[in-house]
Every structure is written in C-alpha cells, then in structure tokens.
Amino acid sequence: MRWTERGRDWLRRKPAQIPFPALALALLLLWPPQGRPAAGQEYLSVYTPRTSFSVRLQQYDGREYVGILDLLDPLGELSARLDGRKWKVRFDGMEMEFQDGKAGMKLGGKRLEMAAPFYFQAGRGMVPLSSIVPLLSPLLRQPVEFHESARRMFIAGAAVHFTAELVHSPADAVVLNFSAPVNPSIATEPGRLRMTFVREPLLHPSPTTISFDDKYVTSLTYHEAEGIAELALNSSVPLLARFSADRKSITVGPVVQIVAQARPQPTPTPPPAPASASPPSPAPPPPATRPTPAPAVAAPPPSAAPPVVVVDASHGGTETGATLSDNLLEKDVTLGIAQRLHNDLEGRGLPTMLLRNSDIAISLDQRAILANTSRARFYISIHAGTLGAGVRLYTALLPPITPANGPFLPWDSAQATFLSSSQTLSGDIASELAKVNMATRQMAAPLPPLNHIAAAAIAVEVVPSGADVTQLNSPAYQEQVAAAIAAGVARARQGGTP
Amino acid sequence: MIPRHLKITFALMMTAALATGIYVLILKRHARQAPQTTELQQPVAPPTAGPPVNVALYIADDRQGSLHREDMSLRLPADPALRAQAVLRALIARYMPKDSPHPLPPGADVNDVYMVNGTAVVDLNDAFATGHRSGVLVEELTVLSLVQTLAANFPGIAQVKILVNGQERDTLAGHADLADFYDVAAVNRVAGQMGGASSQ
C-alpha cells in the first residue's frame, strides 16, 4: 500500500513527467487511426502525346489524393528527398516543397495553397486531386486539361477526335473515323454495342449524343467516367463492329450486313468443291429461349455459297478464357494462332474469314450466326490449355439423332448433318499434325457453339509440348500448329483422307 | 524524485503495452492475409443412414485425360434424389484431397439433385463453378464424371441437366456446355473413348 500512495502523490505533484510520447505511441499501435487514409480503388488516367498511363488514387479524409511521384515519374526527370520535416521534389529542374499535414507548399520559390493538406505516408507524397492542375501547369510548362469528374487528364493537347457518319453503301452502317489508331474493348448486349477506350485520349463530340435517321442504328452516345471513355451505339438489331486495317476507322452495323461485307469475293483460284463435299449450309438462327427448339430459316440457293473457312479465336474482351500463367491469357493465345492460321489458309488460296481480329467479346450464339451466315464449309475454333501435351481436336458431342433432311435445320443440333465431315476434317488435321511430330488426340466434347454450326466444325485445343506454358505464346510454336492445321484443311478440301 | 521501483514498474508496463501493440498489429496482418474460409473446405462426408450399397464412381484423371471406374460401398438414404446427391457428394469428396487426380475447388458441392421421368437435374453450388479450372478437357472431364456416375448408379436416367445455384449457365468455366441437356448415351460413348464406358 505504501508504494501506491507514494505513486498517487507523485502523480499529483508531477503529472508533466509522465512519458506521454511513449504512451501515445503505444495507443497508436493498438488503435491505428480510422479516419486517415483508407485505400481506394479509383484510378486517374493521364494522356500525353507520347504515352498514356493510370495512377491509383487514394481517399484521405473524404478527398481524393494522388501520389505526386507516381504522376510525375513518366513525365520527366524526377528526384525526391526528405529535408528535416520538409519533403522536396525536383522535376525537370524545378523544385517543390511540401510538409506533412500542411496545405501550403512552394513551387519554384512561389508559395501556393492547395485545397487540402499534403500527406506523406510510407515514402509517398499525396496531393489532393483537385489541386493538381495549378501544380502541374507551371511544372510541365504545358497546357493541362482535367476532366475531374471522369478522372481523365490530357497533357500538352493529347487528344483523339472522331466523327460519326451514317452510310448506306455497301451496307447500312455507322462509320466512326478517328484521328489516331484506336483499340477499344467491344462488348455487345441486347440493343447496344459498347466500345471502351482505356488508353486512348478520346474526347467527346459536341453534343455527346448523336442521333441517326436509320432503322437499325438509332443513336451514338459518348460517356466518360472513372478514367475511361465509352461510345455506345444503340440499335434495334444485334450489331457488329469491324476495324479498318490501320485501326483508324470502325464500321458498326447489323450483324448480317457486316458479315456480308466481310465475306470474301469469289476468286478464280479456288477449284470447285468435290462431289463428296458436304452441301452448302443453311443458316439456322439462335432460339429465342434455350430449351425450346427454334424454327430455322430456309437455306440460300447452293450456287450462292462460295467455299470459305471460318477461323474463330475463342474468348475475347472481358471473357478471357483460361488463365494459362500469371501474364498469359487464353484469349491472347487463341487470337495469335487464329491470325497465323488465317494467313496460312489465305496463302493456300482458301478464302478465310477471321471471326475475331482484336480483343473483342463475341457471344457464342453470335459466333455461330456469323459462321452460318457466311455459309462456311469449314469452321475451326481455336482454344488453348495447359493440361497434357500437344494438340487436341474436338468434334461436337451430340445425341444419336437422325440428321435433318430438307432446307431446315434445328438450331440445337444443326451440326448433326455435318458430323461426318467434321470427323473427316479432324482426321485430316490430325494426320498433318502427326507429320510434324505433334501429339494429337481426337474426341467429342460438349463445347459450344459446335452444336449450332451448319458446316464441318471442329475445335482445336493447343497445349504446350512440354511443361513450359510460355511456348503457347511463342511465334514459332504457334506457326507450327497453324501451318499443320492449314495443311489439314487443304487436305479435307481436296476430299479428305480415304 | 521518483522512487526506483515505480520507475521500473512504469517501464515494464510501457514495454508490455508496446509489445502488445506490435503483437496486435502482427495478428491483424495475419488475419488480413489469411484466406477467406466461409465455404466448407473439407471433403464432404457421405450420409450414414441406410444399408451399405455398392456404388460406381467414374473418376477423372487429368494426367491421362481419362475416366476410370472405382467401386465403393456407401450407406444411402431411401429417397432417390437424396441417394443421387449422396453418390455425387462421394464423387466430389474423391476430388477434394490435394493429391486428387482431378482437383475441384474448395467448397465445391451439390446443392440438390432432382429426378423426374428419366431426367436428372443436378444443382451445383457457386463455389463449384466459380472456382473451377478453365479449359476444354478439364471441364469436360468434370461434366462427364458427374453424368457418367449418375447414369451408372441410376439406370433410368436418360438425360442430365446441370444448374449452378439454381440458375442456368452457358458454360462451366468458359468451355463445357451447361446450357443444354446431356444425353446419357452420347456421354457414355465419349466416356468409352476415355476408358470409362458404363455397362448401362
């Protein structure tokens, strides 16, 4: 009891001698501050004439902040150091001076007041986003245009402009012409086709909505938010986008009309189909609802169908397929192989349509519609995987049904009529792959959209020959596989292996 | 002048507070990094009710790209739908160990099985589909294993429909078709090519 009384007495007389810093530190460790930084998931997109990049934003006290080093690093020479309580940043010969928790800062000796305090945390200096333009303009000595609500920043006049024009020839479509090459992600949904521009400094037209006097494509809407710009084309029918070779023009129109445009013109080189070949394909549409067998449309006259191979790079856009490794997606591998196969087939004089030539999302039903409306004789879907080794060739897994006679085919089993020629195609490609010592396996698989294809149809799953997954991305391996497939298609076209 | 024993006591208390603070921080970091274990990660156990029955499981093997039959004895309930669910759970339990020939995602399970007039509807849970590996062969093996196992143990089934969480879905994980019904005869033919034909 005696020491307690003495302690109380000491506390009464000498309260200032309690080691408060140590106590405060202990409390800080036990209860980390809740009000100060909370990690956000927002990004600022920055566009310059030379490059574009994104910087992650953070929320501090209800405001958006950006790391000043993250923002300036891609833009010029940068160095930073702590000088006592001051944080000094040097960018292209001009010095800035910040202090943790203070809104005032110095830029090239001039004092500036920011909208909110500067924060220095874990080696990162955070500046309020709303004060970034007055800071950057004198620093970069370039005009800075900032769309704060959309979190998009344009430096030194970086911009991609576009015009939209409704054309009626050779087909009804809207043609978008851009001032620079673009590579948007494209997604379709009922009544709308959306293009998302992440890297391109696409600027809005005036007005932001353009109406068209067209029965198919009714309007175009521009919208920007969260660091991206989006163009949406509204329509009463399914739309498809097609890029020009220089990627400065995108033609958007009804699926059937765009496919008709894309269909290769008959050339004198391809010989006529042999008598044993499968008949030209009717083009069944997808069912309105899945379980109900859908009515089909009448087949076009046989003479109207030129021989054509459809190469389908599976997946695309947000539908990435399998993640083959940390930085290798199935959709990218399939596109690479499909493009090579397209070139090899064209080189052999086989008119070929590549269903996906960029990173766009196409639904499974749309793929079948495109293949069927092109009246393809061969349909080849490209996949990639990591299980096993070599190349696997799949034909449709269909119940034992009697193939349809006459001009109509049911959507759900359109492939039944062509299953025999699909298996022949698979065998011919397997023979060519075996010639280059590739392990092959042929089997049936429940793999959409094979069942809906009205042509000889197979899916090819390309797998590395060994344990090295990166081989899938190797141009040599992709070309070896593509060349063997092309040889197999050419062989099937000549009548196939007896 | 502060007595020496008070100084020592205070220093000890501060040290303890600091150590506790650091320990709490470490615990918090561990808790943040630990995987979310809301789903059941252990193999599901077969039911224990009913007499022991011999069941056939068609086990997928990734390395061989094949199916093979394994027989096991299970105690099954009387209700056909519950029996089918129990058989499929026994199959899934076979895929749960780390050294399984065809690993399924943690928490994979069958919510329900409905059997009506020769059609079986299998309702998988969300963890089964969302965590499933993506690929033509790996997804096909899963589907064939489920369908073939059902068909082998319930001879009246002619077709199988697979749902995920009670909803229709286009594919299992980007490849295997879940939109259509699986014809048991067609599946048996393909399973035969993979070494797993059923005598049904």
The predicted structure's pLDDT at residue B48: 54
- A446 with A356, same domain? yes
The predicted structure's pLDDT at residue B167: 92
pLDDT at A46 over 70: yes
Contacts of A7 in chain B (CB under 8 A): 6
| Average pLDDT value for residue range A395-410 | 76
The helix/strand/coil state of A354 is strand
Residue A393 covered by a domain: yes
The predicted structure's pLDDT at residue A405: 67
Q: Is B3 in Cβ contact with A322 (below 8 Å)?
A: no
Which of B77, B87, B82, B91 is CA-nearest to residue B48? B77
CATH code of the domain in which A468 resides: 3.40.630.40
- A219 with A146, same domain? no
The ipTM assigned to this model is: 0.76
The predicted structure's pLDDT at residue A443: 92
The residues that bridge with A384 in the sheet, in sequence order, are: A462
The position carrying tokens 């208390």 is B13
**Could you give the residue ranges of the DSSP H alpha helices within A56-191?**
68-72, 132-140
pLDDT at A252 over 80: yes
Task: Provide the 8-state DSSP code for A292.
Answer: S
Which of B57, B46, B126 is CA-nearest to residue B85? B46
Give chain A's largest Cα–Cα span: 114
CATH code of the domain in which A141 resides: 3.30.457.10
The helix/strand/coil state of B70 is strand
Residue A5 covered by a domain: no
Which residues are CB-neighbours of A34 under 8 A, at least 6 positions away?
none
- A487 with A436, same domain? yes
Q: Give the pLDDT band (50/70/90) at residue A496.
A: low
Contacts of A389 in chain B (CB under 8 A): none
Residue A60 covered by a domain: yes
Q: Which residues of B touch A (CB under 8 A)?
A: 2-3, 5-6, 10, 14, 17-18, 20-22, 24-25, 62-63, 65, 133-138, 140, 143, 168, 170-171, 173-177, 179-180, 182-183, 185-187, 189-190, 193-194
| Average pLDDT value for residue range A423-429 | 94
pLDDT at A11 over 60: no
pLDDT at A18 over 80: no
| Average pLDDT value for residue range A195-210 | 83
Q: Which of A319, A387, A446 lies at the smallest CB-CB distance from B176? A: A446
- State percent of chain A over pLDDT 90: 30
Q: Give the pLDDT band (50/70/90) at residue A295.
A: very low
The predicted structure's pLDDT at residue B196: 67
Q: What is the pLDDT of residues A330-369, one digit of tens each?
A: 999 999 999 999 999 989 989 999 888 888 888 898 899 8
Contacts of B177 in chain A (CB under 8 A): 446-448, 451
- State percent of chain A over pLDDT 70: 79
CA distance A296 to chain B (A): 18
- A179 with A328, same domain? no
Residue length of chain B: 200
pLDDT per 10-residue tile (average), chain B, 200 residues: 89 96 91 56 51 91 92 89 93 91 94 92 95 95 96 94 94 94 92 73
Which of A161, A167, A96 is CA-nearest to residue A125? A96
Which of A201, A186, A73 is CA-nearest to residue A147? A201
Indicate the number of domains in chain A. Answer: 3
Measured distance CA(A404)–CA(A417) in Å, rounded: 7
Domain that holds residue A210: 162-255
Which of A329, A224, A212, A285 is CA-nearest to residue A449? A285
Whole-model pTM: value is 0.56
CATH code of the domain in which A251 resides: 2.60.40.3470
Residue A8 covered by a domain: no
CA distance B63 to chain A (A): 6
pLDDT at A195 over 70: yes
Q: Which residue of A5, A30, A419, A472 is the best one to mutate when testing the B interface, meaning the one whose CB has the most B CBs within 10 A?
A: A30
b/e for A395-411, b at 16 or more Cβ within 10 A? Answer: bbbbbeeeebeeeebbb
For chain B, give every domain's residue range.
52-193
- A316 with A393, same domain? yes
Residue A264 covered by a domain: no
- A479 with A353, same domain? yes
The predicted structure's pLDDT at residue A291: 35
Q: What is the pLDDT of residues A120-138, one digit of tens each?
A: 887 788 999 988 888 888 8
pLDDT at A272 over 80: no
- A130 with A224, same domain? no
- A240 with A331, same domain? no
- A134 with A176, same domain? no
Q: Which of A10, A398, A459 lies at the smallest CB-CB distance from B2? A: A10
Q: Give the pLDDT band (50/70/90) at residue A487.
A: very high
Most confident of A10-19, A99-108, A305-314, A337-346: A337-346
- A64 with A172, same domain? no
| Average pLDDT value for residue range A194-218 | 83
- A146 with A166, same domain? no
Query: What is the signed CA dihedral for A400, A405, A409, A410, rounded to 10 degrees?
Result: -40
- A144 with A169, same domain? no
User: Of A7-11, A36-40, A251-255, which range is least confident?
Assistant: A36-40
Measured distance CA(A331)–CA(A392) in Å, rounded: 17
- Does residue A18 or residue A402 have the better pLDDT? A402
The predicted structure's pLDDT at residue B86: 92
Q: What is the pLDDT of residues A77-107, one digit of tens each?
A: 888 888 888 889 988 888 899 998 899 998 8
DSSP A225-265: ETTEEEEEEEESS-EEEEE-TTSSEEEEEEHHHHHHHHSPP
User: Of A202-211, A480-489, B36-45, B96-105, which range is least confident?
Assistant: B36-45
Residue A125 covered by a domain: yes
Please, are residues B149 and B125 in contact by the beta-carbon 8 Å criterion? no
Q: Is A29 in Cβ contact with B18 (below 8 Å)?
A: yes
**Could you give the residue ranges of the DSSP H alpha helices within A286-418?**
330-347, 364-373
